[in-house]
């Protein structure tokens, strides 16, 4: 049986193992600035525009849109002319097999050319591709073998079935996590126990593309049959993992005092939606440098259950299943110190994915990557796919007591925060998007964040409702791609009129319920509602209110002298504020009229009509 769905459980195990290893391989300050690093994607880091800078950027746009062949056509001649960025990008294309047949030798050559010019991302990539494990750290695992030709499932014994499923699971981990075939392990051993089948996986080692190494040692899986559909799998994980940091090559170990890993395996769907990985009392140690940090507990958990769904006109008893529940990642009690003296402490971070009405059978039957053409589009779900597979998806993140201290970049602390996004489409036609942002007692000093600009407390709630999905797919996405490729819309007025008409028929409404921002010297409260309207020159009508306390100090923070002149739109708005509360606050009544004019306290200050000759 084809086991495309085992990717789900592969991701589960990878998350449980790699989560702890990730913290060990990054310094606290790298964790805090993960999005600002160099060397990622196709052209990380900065480089001078020595050859065809504009063309190179166009190649980046094509790559980001999944047009790898187009990016190859742009980058290859630039690389041959000596552009280090393009040479690095060619190495990535060959390494990942995107738009061209994968070839590690050619990837190494192009990375070398970029590295020879001093291009840092190229040097890092070349270093990771040429990594050598010191003799004392070599492992004795046998090379991973290809899956042998199997009997039909109906002809397998129970032990053969279980061993095949574990082999498939490992192959999926190799494809998803170690996609350059750098997952290795010894020969599997299956033993029939009185109440379970034990599969032993010896010498399990994962080598990441950035040169990081995670040596898990021997892992044992105990598989117990629950009923005709489900198995219970318990993993016996080692108490010590060896790791090597990327690029620098420093070796260390992670000790895990408490380990729990259980999975409820669905044989029919060949996946799991009910699992728990819990690791406690983790200690991260470098061979040279000693202890670098601790984590009290890491949790990866899912509880997603099936609900029967009867199709209209279906025979009695003929039902499909929709799955609803949550998946969670949580980390408690983290504290780390880097070699440069930067420290990070965190009481708790909790990420929850909320799934409603997920059609897992349809999800797991999505086409897999085409290995002959080296395309991976089959593993990417479009918005249309998502709308057809789930009635709603939500993501919530909470953070408690995060503190970062850096010797030169300053300090940062956050008492609590909560962020959430929810997308629902019960009928697959009309979308509703909700966004919430909240944080309390945010403090920054030094270059980490100028204290005068830090909003200590923030509370934002926004809802965008009655969005027709077909309009988003046929008009919105096409417009985004056109702008990304051409820098402008080919028919902007036609696109605007179509969006205005379709959104107004659907009754699309954007409501900023509230946006409250408080700092030491200012306090802002904003709320508004915009409704699509087919005759409005701006495409919508709207009304709202803005209240500002500490306006003069805000002007000063923006680089203006308190009470001095402010040019343009800002002046037009601020000068129309009505003093309230004894003059401490300024109140602004906002309206968007049918003629496209934005008015502040009934005075027009700006035309929002995109094709009005008087528009700003």
Report pLDDT digits (tens) over 34-74: 333 333 333 333 333 334 445 777 777 677 666 788 889 88
Please check whether residues 232 and 327 belong to one and the same domain: yes
Choose among 78, 86, 87, 94: nearest CA to 112: 87
- At residue 62, the pLDDT reads 72
Please check whether residues 102 and 207 belong to one and the same domain: no
* 89 in a structural domain: yes
* 558 in a structural domain: no
pLDDT tens-place string over residues 436-487: 999 999 988 765 455 666 889 999 999 999 988 878 767 766 666 666 666 6
* 582 in a structural domain: no
Please check whether residues 201 and 275 belong to one and the same domain: yes
Of residues 214 and 127, the one with the higher pLDDT is 214
Question: What's the domain count of the chain?
Answer: 2
Reported as a pLDDT band with limits 50, 70 and 90, residue 229 is: confident
Choose among 88, 188, 184, 104: nearest CA to 141: 184
Please check whether residues 175 and 291 belong to one and the same domain: yes
Q: Which of 312, 334, 355 is the C-terminal boundary of a domain?
A: 355
Q: Which of 299, 334, 355 is the C-terminal boundary of a domain?
A: 355
For 258, other C-beta atoms within 10 Å of its C-beta total: 11
Of residues 408 and 545, the one with the higher pLDDT is 545
Work out the end-to-end distance of the chain between its first and last CA atoms, rounded to an integer number of angstroms. Answer: 62
The token pair at 426 is 């019960």
* 378 in a structural domain: no
pLDDT at 534 over 60: yes
User: How far apart are alpha carbons 469 and 454 in whole angstroms?
Assistant: 37
Please check whether residues 173 and 299 belong to one and the same domain: yes
Share of the chain above pLDDT 90, in %: 33
Reported as a pLDDT band with limits 50, 70 and 90, residue 402 is: very high
Please check whether residues 206 and 345 belong to one and the same domain: yes
Reported as a pLDDT band with limits 50, 70 and 90, residue 24 is: very low
Residue 67 lies in domain: 48-118
pLDDT tens-place string over residues 132-159: 444 334 444 444 444 456 677 778 888 8
- At residue 343, the pLDDT reads 93
Q: With b meaning 16 or more CB within 10 Å and e meaning fewer, what string describes 416-440? A: bbbbbebbbbeeeebbbebebebbe
- At residue 378, the pLDDT reads 36
- At residue 392, the pLDDT reads 83
Q: Give me the residue label for tokens 């060896």.
A: 242
Please check whether residues 226 and 294 belong to one and the same domain: yes
Please check whether residues 186 and 257 belong to one and the same domain: yes
* 150 in a structural domain: yes
Please check whether residues 60 and 186 belong to one and the same domain: no
Please check whether residues 178 and 297 belong to one and the same domain: yes
User: How far apart are alpha carbons 472 and 444 in whole angstroms?
Assistant: 39
Please check whether residues 200 and 346 belong to one and the same domain: yes
**Average pLDDT rounded to a whole number, residues 169-193:** 72
Please check whether residues 243 and 351 belong to one and the same domain: yes
pTM of the model: 0.68
- Average pLDDT value over all residues in the chain: 76
- At residue 362, the pLDDT reads 58
Q: Which of 322, 355, 388 is the C-terminal boundary of a domain?
A: 355
The residue count of the chain comes to: 616
* 560 in a structural domain: no
* 109 in a structural domain: yes
**Average pLDDT rounded to a whole number, residues 7-32:** 36
- At residue 322, the pLDDT reads 80
pLDDT at 574 over 90: no
Of residues 587 and 31, the one with the higher pLDDT is 587
């Amino acid at each position: 049986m084809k086991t495309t769905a085992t990717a789900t459980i592969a991701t589960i195990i990878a998350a449980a193992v790699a989560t702890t290893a990730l913290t060990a391989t990054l310094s606290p300050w790298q964790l805090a600035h993960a999005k600002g690093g160099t060397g990622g994607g196709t052209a990380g880091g900065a480089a001078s525009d020595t050859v065809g800078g504009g063309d190179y950027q166009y190649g980046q746009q094509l790559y980001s849109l999944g047009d790898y062949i187009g990016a190859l056509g742009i980058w290859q001649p630039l690389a041959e002319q000596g552009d280090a960025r393009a040479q690095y990008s060619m190495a990535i294309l060959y390494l990942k097999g995107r738009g061209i047949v994968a070839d590690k030798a050619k990837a190494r050559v192009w990375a070398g050319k970029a590295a020879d010019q001093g291009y840092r991302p190229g040097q890092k990539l070349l270093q990771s591709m040429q990594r050598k494990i010191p003799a004392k750290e070599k492992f004795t695992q046998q090379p991973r073998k290809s899956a042998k030709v199997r009997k039909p499932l109906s002809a397998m014994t129970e032990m053969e079935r279980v061993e095949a499923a574990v082999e498939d699971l490992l192959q999926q981990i190799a494809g998803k996590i170690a996609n350059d075939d750098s997952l290795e392990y010894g020969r599997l051993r299956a033993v029939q126990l009185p109440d379970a089948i034990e599969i032993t996986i010896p010498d399990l080692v994962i080598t990441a593309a950035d040169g990081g190494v995670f040596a898990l040692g021997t892992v044992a899986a105990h598989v117990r049959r629950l009923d005709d559909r489900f198995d219970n799998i318990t993993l016996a994980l080692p108490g010590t993992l060896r790791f090597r940091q990327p690029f620098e090559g420093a070796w260390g170990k992670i000790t895990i005092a408490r380990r729990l890993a259980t999975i409820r395996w669905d044989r029919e769907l060949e996946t799991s939606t009910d699992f728990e990985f819990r690791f406690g009392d983790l200690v991260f140690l470098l061979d040279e440098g000693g202890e670098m940090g601790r984590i009290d507990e890491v949790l990866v958990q899912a509880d997603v259950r099936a609900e029967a769904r009867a199709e209209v006109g279906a025979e009695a008893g003929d039902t499909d299943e929709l799955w609803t529940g949550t998946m969670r990642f949580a980390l408690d009690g983290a504290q780390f110190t880097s070699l440069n003296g930067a420290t990070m402490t965190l009481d708790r971070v909790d990420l929850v994915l909320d799934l409603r009405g997920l059609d897992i059978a349809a999800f797991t039957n999505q086409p897999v990557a085409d290995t002959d053409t080296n395309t991976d589009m089959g593993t990417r779900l479009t918005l249309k796919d998502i709308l057809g597979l789930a009635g709603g998806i939500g993501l919530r993140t909470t953070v408690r007591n995060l503190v970062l201290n850096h010797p030169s970049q300053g300090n940062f602390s956050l008492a609590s925060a909560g962020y959430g996004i929810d997308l629902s489409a019960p009928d697959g036609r009309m979308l509703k998007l909700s966004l919430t942002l909240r944080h309390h007692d945010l403090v920054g000093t030094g270059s980490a964040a100028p204290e005068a600009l830090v909003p200590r407390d923030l509370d934002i709630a926004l809802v965008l409702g009655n969005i027709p999905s077909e309009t988003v797919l046929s008009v919105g996405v096409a417009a985004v791609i056109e702008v990304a490729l051409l820098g402008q819309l080919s028919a902007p007025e036609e696109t605007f009129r179509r969006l205005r008409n379709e959104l107004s028929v659907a009754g699309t409404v954007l409501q900023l319920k509230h946006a409250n921002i408080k700092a030491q010297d200012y306090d802002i409260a904003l709320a508004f509602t915009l409704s699509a309207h087919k005759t409005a020159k701006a495409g919508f009508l709207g009304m709202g209110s803005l209240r500002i306390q500490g306006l003069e100090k805000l002007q000063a923070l923006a680089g203006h002298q308190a009470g001095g002149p402010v040019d343009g739109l800002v002046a037009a708005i601020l000068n129309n504020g009505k003093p309230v509360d004894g003059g401490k606050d300024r109140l602004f009544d906002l309206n968007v009229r049918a003629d496209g004019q934005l008015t502040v306290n009934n005075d027009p200050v700006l035309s929002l009509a995109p094709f009005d000759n008087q528009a700003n």
